[in-house]
Amino acid sequence: METIIYKPLNSIWLKASVVGSIWASIEIILGSFLHNLKIPFSGMILSFISVYILIAFLQVWKENGLIWRAGIICALMKSVSPSALILGPMIGIFTEAILIELFIFVFGKNLIGYLVGGAFAVLATLLHKLVNLLILYGFDFIKILSDLYLFAVKQIDLEQLNPTSLIIFITIIYIITGMTGAIAGYVTGLKYLKTKNLSDDQSEIILHSKNQLFDQTTKQSYSLIYLLINLFSIVAILFLMNSNFVIVTTISSFIYIGFCILNYKNSLRRLKKISFWISFIVITFAAAFLWNGFSHGAFFSLDGLIIGLKMNARAIILVIGFASISVELKNPLIKSVLYHRGFANLYQSLSLAFSALPFFLSNLSKSENNNKGISRISFHGILSQAETLFRIFEKEHSQRPTVVIITGDIHQGKTTFTQKIITDLLEQKIRIAGFLSIGINENGKRIGFNLVDIESSRQIELCSDKKDEKRLKFGQYYFNNAAILRGMEILNNDNLSDKQLIIIDEIGPLELNGQGWSGAIENITRSIIVPQLWVVRKSIVKKITRKWNIGNAYIFDITESSIQEVKNKLNEIMFQKQLINENQ
């Protein structure tokens, strides 16, 4: 028997889940709003709001380390975004959190620490943009930008306007914006503490049952080898480009772009935007007309044209490459490896944050479309909702059902093993709810499964290998929607409250993909603490236990454990649960 002990999250991770979820919802709603309206300095505006939120929360929850935890949660929530590019926004969000945390650590939780942290967090968005441009276009971009500036000031007779002065002026604007956000957050947080009894939000917070973190998808395959190919290809092409191997670079670039188009359907998304091609034209012509314009008096340079095209070719390779890498970073295997390398707290926090995200997205969306949006989006209300949500997380996270898992390989006899256990438990008058998936064989071949209700013994065809366009196809089988609905009905909370044990046979790839009775399992692991017995094939046991954040898990391999051992563990768990109920 293998045992996985459940370790509830501590207070700071629960609070970081709340802050990260609210921060992510604001990034998504306002980020899309600003992007769609093409509002200038949208990055600075979003960063100002982020500083405002985080400093306000620091007045309510003063734990050290809250901000960087909320930052990494918010950043990683971008990993499930449908956007082709997630790497840049993730880095930007986390950088803001780290800078605020750093300067508060240095100066303390006081107005000076908040002002300096806010200033550098907003300034980081400017630096982030500059670094992105340097990565995309190389250091030739600096010369072209400088020449373009000198050309512009000459046309308006302001040659005395030093570029350094302009840079300082822009920097000051960003710093003042960050400090303003910090002051606003500081004042809002203190005001909330004084008036929160009068402004407590009474709206019901509904958590979303779907756990997106470890969801798999049939629409996109992932490969660690492809991730390495992407990284190697980008580095190799940039090296060849800088070494002026024109023919080899061109051939390699076309091969790599073809590879990305075949394997990542969204890799060209950014290239379809008119803004990219406007910048392409501007950079190309700026390089052609300005490269030697001030040093030789020429207003067109073939060398400049070549350099401009080379810069844009570099940008195209990086845009496509980073979009492809962003897809591979969503690989559940990468998340799984991190989970087992000391990041379990982070991923449990992320799971909670995802459950609250739809609620805050809904609230903010209503505010945006409502004439009374300003009052509805009151940050006092958000802070109050945050404290309510923390209490919900705290209560829910401390109560998780204990689960016994019966595992083995495919067709090894897991269901038969489980049936024998059920028979013995029913003789003990144990109140059991749930279902079994009984194999259907024809001429010695498995052709499908029947779903059998343990309480009523009624059965319905769950799936079959016979082609049926009206059914959901998953793997080799076509699943009967009526049977899926029947399984979900059996697992309805109203049918389980008086039971001593819940049995689910089996939980498989369909549920890992968020289909089947995935939603019902999510619901009963959150709202019911009745002990459960799951049947799971050996290859996905760890993925299943991670997906639903269950309580203590006891895993029995049918090739190594006896029926009596499993029964003893189940009786022990049910007895402990009975004692807890009697003492409440």
Taking residues 377-390, what's their average pLDDT?
81
What is residue 151's predicted lDDT score, i.e. its pLDDT? Answer: 61
Q: Average pLDDT, whole number, for the chain?
A: 82
- State what percent of residues in the chain have pLDDT above 90: 37
Q: Is the pLDDT of residue 342 over 60?
A: no
Do the Cβ atoms of 525 and 379 come closer than 8 Å?
Answer: no
**CA-wise closest residue to 180 among 274, 4, 50:** 50
Task: Report d(CA 170, CA 175) in Å as an integer.
Answer: 9
What is residue 372's predicted lDDT score, i.e. its pLDDT? Answer: 43
What is residue 259's predicted lDDT score, i.e. its pLDDT? Answer: 92
What is residue 26's predicted lDDT score, i.e. its pLDDT? Answer: 83
pLDDT band at 371 (very low <50, low <70, confident <90, very high): very low
Token pair for 233: 């290809």
Global pTM exceeds 0.95 = no
Task: Report d(CA 521, CA 209) in Å as an integer.
Answer: 9
Q: Select the highest-mean-pLDDT range: 197-201, 324-328, 350-354, 503-507.
A: 503-507
What is residue 82's predicted lDDT score, i.e. its pLDDT? Answer: 47
What's 536's DSSP letter? E
Structural domain spans, the chain: 9-214+350-395, 224-328, 403-583
Q: Where are the beta strands (DSSP E) in 165-282?
A: none
Q: Is the pLDDT of residue 382 over 80?
A: yes
Look at 364 and 346; give whichever has higher pLDDT: 346
**CA-wise closest residue to 136 among 25, 210, 234:** 234
CATH topology of domain 403-583: Rossmann fold (3.40.50)
The rounded radius of gyration (Å) of the Cα atoms in the chain is 29
Q: Is the pLDDT of residue 84 over 50?
A: no
Look at 419 and 547; give whichever has higher pLDDT: 419
What's 387's DSSP letter? H
What is residue 38's predicted lDDT score, i.e. its pLDDT? Answer: 67
What is residue 579's predicted lDDT score, i.e. its pLDDT? Answer: 79
pLDDT band at 376 (very low <50, low <70, confident <90, very high): very low
pLDDT band at 200 (very low <50, low <70, confident <90, very high): low
Do the Cβ atoms of 78 and 86 come closer than 8 Å?
Answer: yes
Task: Report d(CA 191, CA 53) in Å as an integer.
Answer: 14
pLDDT digits 0-9 by tens, 121-166: 999 988 887 777 777 677 776 766 666 666 665 656 555 566 677 7
312 Cβ contact partners less than 8 Å away, ≥ 6 residues apart? 137, 280, 283, 284
